[in-house]
Amino acid sequence: MRRGAKSVLKIAVLAVLLCVLFSLLFLSQQLGDLNHSLRTRIDVLNGLLTQQQAEISGLNEQIARITEATGVAPADATPEAEAENDVSGVWTPAPPRLWTEYRPYQELYPALYAKRSERLFARDKTVYLTFDDGPTIHTARVLDTLKEAGVKATFFIVGSSVARLGEDGKALLRRMADEGHTIGVHCNVHDYERIYASVEAFLDDFNAVFNLIRETTGLQTDLFRFPGGSVNSYNEEIRSELIHEMERRGFTYYDWNASSNDTAAGLTEESAWRNAVSRAGGTKRIILLMHDTKERTVLALPRIIATYKDKGYSFARLTNVDKPIVL
């Protein structure tokens, strides 16, 4: 009987020890997961700090270039300051960020973050000229026309287009920055199936152009345009998750509400102009989609600008304080 009791006691002690062991293993796993999560958060914060330092450096370089070119240092070169000086518009709070639960791709590219504006500004009777897919052999003439008209615009860059022109492509990016235009990300390779294969694939492509712009101009862009627009048949499966991730990283995207349709086969300069100004007078805020890849756009641009001016519109470049127009 005593021997049996001892056996039971041994089994009970062994069971307790096993419970303690399994509890320790479980606790160790939980601590490991917590440690991984904390390290991920630290990496993200370090990325944000790196991004802010690079952004400040880029702004300082741009101010230095402006000062060297004009002999006058701007008092305040921030987008918020530009908008504050424009009384013909309305400020609204930015919508809350759409946070998603943890995904492994959130650990990719810890420096790929932007500073999001907490307020958005809607200018009255303003046209935002935007050009996609460049730079190309036509971009210099577009810049000449904008400079002559005293108009600022926004260029959504394709990395492969820059590469195709070599050093001339990079020189065009620097000219855009020096002349006060906004440079945003469009894509690196204009291949929808490749770009929208996954959120990871989109980030890979985006990061390449983001770095190209920063390394070439010293500026760290905070806005972009989805290839094909934010709503297209290629990104349907990942659209919501992709938008959430880019907003989580602080980037702002812009679609359009007017287009010259200048990529249509056989379109004439006259038709490009008519399409581009079709909403003049009936819409207060116009984000006009064009492409600096087409000769017809170069030829129609002076007339497009003149028509909008005659209709009483002003022109502005996009910044992340401008309220987006989305499809």
What angle is formed at CA 73 by the lines to CA 210 and CA 179, rounded to 5 degrees? Answer: 45
DSSP 54-82: HHHHHHHHHHHHHHHHHS---S---HHHH
Residues 45 and 93 in one domain: no
C-alpha 114/C-alpha 166 separation (Å) is 27
Residues 137 and 265 in one domain: yes
Residues 67 and 84 in one domain: no
Residues 100 and 53 in one domain: no
Selection from 38, 25, 32, 27 nearest residue 102 by Cα = 38
Look at residues 40, 74, 108 and tell me which one is the last residue of a structural domain: 74
Residue pLDDT tens, the chain, 327 long: 456 666 767 777 777 777 777 777 777 677 666 666 666 666 655 655 555 555 555 555 555 554 444 344 444 456 666 665 665 788 888 887 666 688 999 999 999 999 999 999 999 999 999 999 999 999 999 999 999 999 999 999 999 999 999 999 999 999 999 999 999 999 999 999 999 999 999 999 999 999 999 999 999 999 999 999 999 999 999 999 999 999 999 999 999 999 999 999 999 999 999 999 999 999 999 999 999 999 999 999 999 999 999 999 999 999 999 999 998
Range of the domain at 304: 78-315
Residues 54 and 173 in one domain: no
Query: 246 in a domain, yes or no?
Result: yes
In total, how many domains does the chain have?
2
- What pLDDT was estimated at residue 35? 65
pTM of the model: 0.77
Query: 324 in a domain, yes or no?
Result: no
Residues 120 and 216 in one domain: yes
Look at residues 30, 49, 74 and tell me which one is the last residue of a structural domain: 74
